[in-house]
Structures are given as structure tokens and as C-alpha cells.
Amino acid sequence: MTADHQHLQRAIALAHANVAQGGRPFGAVVTRNGDVLVEAVNEIHLTQDPTAHAELLAIRAASQHVGARLEGCVIYASGQPCPMCLSAMYLCGVERVVFAASNETAEPFGLSTAAIGQQVGLPLAEQRLPIQHLPDAAMTALYQQWKSLHAPE
């Protein structure tokens, strides 16, 4: 069994255990250089936090170990990462993502996030959620202040 299969099987086992405890069928494992950094499961049923996805919780925990940038890390997920989790993966710089169940597999069970992915891929004006941009020049000044405080020396 390859390392990818081994870590993915662990994510699936976490998802299985989570279902047995009343949760959703989602587990995630974060590795770096082949070593497991953290494991997590979907905790929406425990916290009522709709962002408590296994992948996000795993990213948060891994960041506590290695910092906000997760270069060199691989995330193994039992299900296809939703747009929120995928965005977080891009933001933290994970190297790779491996998942077991696709949105197509999840769809008949009400667990697909494909529709959300389609919405966020549209221009803002075409999305179902009304999104209004009210430009404010103070934000440009604030961004400039931040950049001057964080400029490379």
C-alpha cells in the first residue's frame, strides 16, 4: 500500500468513527514529509459551527505546529474538499490534496458542495447571494500602512 493510500485510509477511518459518534462522514489527515502532523474530523454536530469541517480543523491544528504556511504538507480527505476548505488550502500553501469520495459520489446523500463551487465561480453580480461592493478610500490607506509595517527589510 502506498503512503497516499495509507493516509487516505486513515482519513476514511476517521470519517467512519465520526459517523458512529453522530457526526458527518468527513475526516482529514495532514502530513509533512510523509509524517502525520494532525488528524481531524468534521465537528459541526458538536459545535454548531458550519465552518468546522475536518479539513479546516486540520489546517488550524497543523498551523499551530508549523506556522501559517503549510508548504510541503499534503492533506488527505475522505470527501472532496468544499470551496471553503479548498480556498483555505490555497491560502496556506499546501503542496497537494488527495481525497476519496467525489462530489458526484456525495450528491445522492446530500453531501455534495458542487453547487456552492458553481456559485462562487460566477462573477459577483451573477451569484445567488447578493454581494455589494462599497469602495472606501480609507481601506487603501490601511493596506498601505500594513504593507509599510510588513515590508521586507
Range of the domain at 87: 3-150
Grid cell 496556506 is found at 92
φ/ψ region of 144 (left if φ > 0, alpha if ψ in -120 to 50, else beta) reads alpha
Number of compact structural domains in the chain: 1
| pTM reported for the whole predicted model | 0.92
How many whole angstroms separate alpha carbon 15 and alpha carbon 2?
Answer: 20
Question: What is the pLDDT at residue 85?
Answer: 98
Question: What is the pLDDT at residue 152?
Answer: 79
Is the separation of the CB atoms in 32 and 38 below 8 Å? no
Beta bridge pairs of residue 30: 38, 75
Nearest Cα residue to 82 out of 127, 121, 112, 46: 112
Close Cβ partners of 107 (under 8 Å, ≥ 6 residues apart)? 114
Concerning whether 55 is annotated as a catalytic residue, the answer is yes
Question: What is the pLDDT at residue 1?
Answer: 83
Q: Which CATH number characterizes residue 134's domain?
A: 3.40.140.10
Per-residue pLDDT of the chain in tens (153 residues, 90 and over written 9): 899 999 999 999 999 999 999 999 999 999 999 999 999 999 999 999 999 999 999 999 999 999 999 999 999 999 999 999 999 999 999 999 999 999 999 999 999 999 999 999 999 999 999 999 999 999 999 999 999 999 876
Q: Which of 39, 43, 55, 153 is catalytic?
A: 55
Question: What is the pLDDT at residue 153?
Answer: 66
